[in-house]
């Protein structure tokens, strides 16, 4: 992923950290949340003061804490991205079928995932480019989008080559159909609704037309003003 | 007297035959029974179908078993990760088969297999490539895809502690697939760091009841995959 200062980037874009903060602001007190790999991982450090949020990692831990101090890593205490983590007081360990019963049984409130493409209908593609020589790997993404109550996607608005990631229809293989509820990008926060994509917030200095220019699906004005 | 302790790692895996289906516990390196896998490499059974979430890293453990051409087919959810080169190389050359399964479906297929449930319906993967060609059915207002339970001839897993009955306790996120894999095997082989006296494990804290466990081998100081990879170790 390019740094926000890369050439061609608009200086007023939200940073990865900003995006994580915006996601965290929408997570209510008491929620159980599963975080994907990449920008979603940053969300854990952005929970507003006074809110208690429980993080689940699908490899068998409810009550995941921050990364351990250097030297304190335990190879048998990791997250779904296989990075060392800690367990908070009150945490619970469980096996994989129990973990996915939480996920598939609708017990997790919010899942925050990255995306390759999201469609106007909320279809998500985030596991495969469909290239023939690529090694397909899906992990838990299809289970998460099928079972978690709310799916938030957090992603750069366009690819490294400037191609829109929000599209009329996904061209990459789907992770799930009509599963995304809200999209957070470096340019805007967009709700997926039965009427279409509704823009709720826009990054500083931009307007709806500027966001639309980088989006390959029609955007509706949700009364968003640039923050 | 019931005593499930095997004489050695070699003795524990000695009857795994060519063509067997073998479940191997672990999520990345956490819970991977490296010493049992190395014993299986020494033993040499080939043409195996291996069910494991990943395909190992470096050239040790599961990756070494694959590199040694003992695996015909992998059933897994995530066959590539930071240090996995063995599986991708063989897969690109068409020398190993892959059945890709969503992680939750993989876990539930193993759980179902162990519980005597031949098939079940799930919403995971509906409308995607991984549901292509599978039976789907609508319940109320939602579509589901039918998935089959999985069983194995052998399951190889790692636990923290056992007693001679085979009651098991695990360590943190190293538990992952092990408890369900124990239930789904004809023969479950467990490597444990510590064997304790019967009665020392609180019955309220037993994670895998001994009925699911057939052989126990004590490996007091198991190797860590990431450490072996860092040291560029190769097996054999």
Q: What is the complex's ipTM, to 2 decimals?
A: 0.96
Nearest to A61 among B77, B102, B173 (CB): B173
Q: Which two tokens stand for residue B226?
A: 């990431």
CATH code, B19-29+42-230: 3.40.1080.10
Contacts of A136 in chain B (CB under 8 A): 79, 98, 100
Q: Tens digits of per-residue pLDDT, A137-182? A: 999 999 999 999 999 999 999 999 999 999 999 999 999 999 999 9
Contacts of B80 in chain A (CB under 8 A): 135, 137
Provide mean pLDDT across the span A64-68.
Answer: 95
In which band, very low, low, confident or very high, does the pLDDT at A3 lie, cut at 50, 70 and 90? very low
Residue A190 in this model has a pLDDT that exceeds 90 = yes
Contacts of A146 in chain B (CB under 8 A): 122-126
B-chain residue closest to A95, CA distance: B176
Q: Tens digits of per-residue pLDDT, B117-144? A: 999 999 999 999 999 999 999 999 999 9
What are the residue boundaries of the structural domains of chain A, listed by start?
A: 16-221
Residue B66 in this model has a pLDDT that exceeds 80 = yes
The structure's pTM equals 0.95
- Model pLDDT, residue A27: 98
Q: Which of A25, A37, A28 is nearest to A149 (CA)?
A: A28
Residue A5 in this model has a pLDDT that exceeds 70 = no
Provide mean pLDDT across the span A11-16.
Answer: 86
- Model pLDDT, residue B72: 98
Q: Tens digits of per-residue pLDDT, A29-56? A: 999 999 998 899 999 999 999 999 999 9
- Model pLDDT, residue A1: 39
Q: Does B79 touch chain A (CB under 8 A)?
A: yes
Q: Which of B228, B224, B222, B189 is nearest to B43 (CA)?
A: B189
What lies within 8 Å, CB to CB, of B144 at 6+ separation is: B121, B122, B123, B126, B136, B137, B138
Nearest to A138 among B29, B78, B178 (CB): B78
- Model pLDDT, residue B203: 98
Does domain A16-221 bear CATH number 3.40.640.10?
no
- Model pLDDT, residue A115: 96
Residue B162 in this model has a pLDDT that exceeds 80 = yes
User: Rg of chain A over CA atoms, in angstroms?
Assistant: 17
Q: How far apart are CA A150 and CA A134, in angstroms?
A: 30
Residue B81 in this model has a pLDDT that exceeds 90 = no
Q: Tens digits of per-residue pLDDT, A85-99? A: 999 999 999 999 999
Q: Does B205 touch chain A (CB under 8 A)?
A: no
Q: Does B104 touch chain A (CB under 8 A)?
A: yes
CB atoms within 10 A of CB A226: 15
Task: List active site positions of A.
Answer: 58
In which band, very low, low, confident or very high, does the pLDDT at A130 lie, cut at 50, 70 and 90? confident
Residue A21 in this model has a pLDDT that exceeds 60 = yes
CB atoms within 10 A of CB B121: 16
A-chain residue closest to B129, CA distance: A173
- Model pLDDT, residue B84: 86
Q: Which of residues 12-51 of B touch A (CB under 8 A)?
A: 27-31
Q: Tens digits of per-residue pLDDT, B23-57? A: 999 999 999 999 999 999 999 999 999 999 999 99
- Model pLDDT, residue B38: 98
- Model pLDDT, residue A12: 79
Mean pLDDT of chain B: 97
B-chain residue closest to A61, CA distance: B173
- Model pLDDT, residue A104: 97
- Interface contact B224-A60, CB threshold 8 A: no
DSSP-assigned letters across all residues of B102-146:
-HHHHHHHHHHHHTT--EEEESTTTTSGGGTTS-EEEETTEEEEE
- A112 vs A22, B96, B139, B142, CA distance in Å? 12, 34, 27, 23
Q: How far apart are CA B152 and CA A90, in angstroms?
A: 35
Contacts of B53 in chain A (CB under 8 A): 96
Q: Tens digits of per-residue pLDDT, B173-184? A: 999 999 999 999
Residue A13 in this model has a pLDDT that exceeds 60 = yes
Provide mean pLDDT across the span B150-175.
Answer: 98
- Model pLDDT, residue B177: 98
Helix (H, G, I), strand (E, B) or coil at B111: helix
In which band, very low, low, confident or very high, does the pLDDT at A225 lie, cut at 50, 70 and 90? low
Handedness of CA A7, A11, A15, A19 (dihedral sign): negative
Q: Which two tokens stand for residue B6?
A: 């095997």
Angle, CA of A182, A142 and B224, to the nearest 5°: 115
- Model pLDDT, residue B33: 98
- Model pLDDT, residue A2: 39
- Interface contact A75-B224, CB threshold 8 A: yes
- Model pLDDT, residue B64: 97
- Interface contact A138-B77, CB threshold 8 A: yes
- Model pLDDT, residue A226: 62
A-chain residue closest to B30, CA distance: A76
Q: How far apart are CA B78 and CA B103, in angstroms?
A: 8
What are the residue boundaries of the structural domains of chain B, listed by start?
A: 19-29+42-230
């Amino acid at each position: 992923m390019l740094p926000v200062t890369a050439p061609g980037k608009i200086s007023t874009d939200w940073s990865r950290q900003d995006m994580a903060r915006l996601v965290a602001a929408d997570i209510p007190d008491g929620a159980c949340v599963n975080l994907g790999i990449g920008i979603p991982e940053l969300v854990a450090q952005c929970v507003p003061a006074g809110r208690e949020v429980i993080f689940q990692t699908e490899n068998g831990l409810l009550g995941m804490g921050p990364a351990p101090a250097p030297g304190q890593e335990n190879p048998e205490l990791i997250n779904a991205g296989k990075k060392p983590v800690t367990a908070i007081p009150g945490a619970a360990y469980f096996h994989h079928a129990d973990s996915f019963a939480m996920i598939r049984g609708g017990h997790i409130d919010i899942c925050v995932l990255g995306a390759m493409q999201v469609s106007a209908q909320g279809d998500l593609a985030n596991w495969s480019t469909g290239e023939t020589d690529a090694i397909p790997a899906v992990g838990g993404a299809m289970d998460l989008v099928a079972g978690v109550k709310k799916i938030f996607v957090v992603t750069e608005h366009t690819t490294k080559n400037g191609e829109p990631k929000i599209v009329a229809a996904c061209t990459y293989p789907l992770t799930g159909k009509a599963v995304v509820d809200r999209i957070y990008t470096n340019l805007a926060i967009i709700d997926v609704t039965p009427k279409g994509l509704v823009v709720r917030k826009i990054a500083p200095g931009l307007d709806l037309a500027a966001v639309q220019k980088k989006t390959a699906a029609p955007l509706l004005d949700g009364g968003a003003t640039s923050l | 007297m019931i005593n499930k302790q095997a004489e050695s790692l070699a003795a524990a895996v000695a009857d795994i035959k060519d063509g067997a289906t073998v479940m191997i516990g672990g999520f990345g390196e956490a819970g991977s029974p490296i010493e049992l896998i190395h014993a299986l490499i020494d033993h040499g059974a080939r043409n195996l179908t291996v069910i494991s979430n990943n395909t190992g890293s470096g050239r040790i453990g599961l990756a070494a078993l694959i590199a040694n051409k003992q695996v015909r087919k992998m059933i897994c959810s995530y066959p590539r990760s930071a240090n996995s080169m063995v599986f991708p190389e063989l897969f690109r050359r068409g020398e190993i088969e892959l059945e890709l399964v969503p992680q939750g479906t993989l876990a539930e297929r193993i759980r179902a297999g162990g519980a005597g449930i031949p098939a079940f319906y799930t919403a995971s993967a509906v409308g995607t490539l991984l549901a292509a060609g599978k039976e789907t059915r609508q319940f109320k207002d939602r579509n589901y895809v039918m998935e089959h339970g999985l069983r194995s001839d052998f399951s190889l897993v790692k636990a923290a502690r056992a007693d001679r009955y085979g009651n098991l306790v695990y360590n943190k996120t190293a538990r992952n697939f092990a408890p369900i894999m124990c239930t789904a095997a004809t023969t479950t082989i467990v490597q444990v760091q510590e064997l304790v006296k019967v009665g020392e494990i609180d019955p309220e804290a037993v994670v895998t009841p001994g009925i699911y466990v057939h052989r126990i081998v004590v490996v007091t100081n198991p190797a860590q995959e990431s450490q072996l990879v860092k040291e560029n170790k190769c097996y054999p």
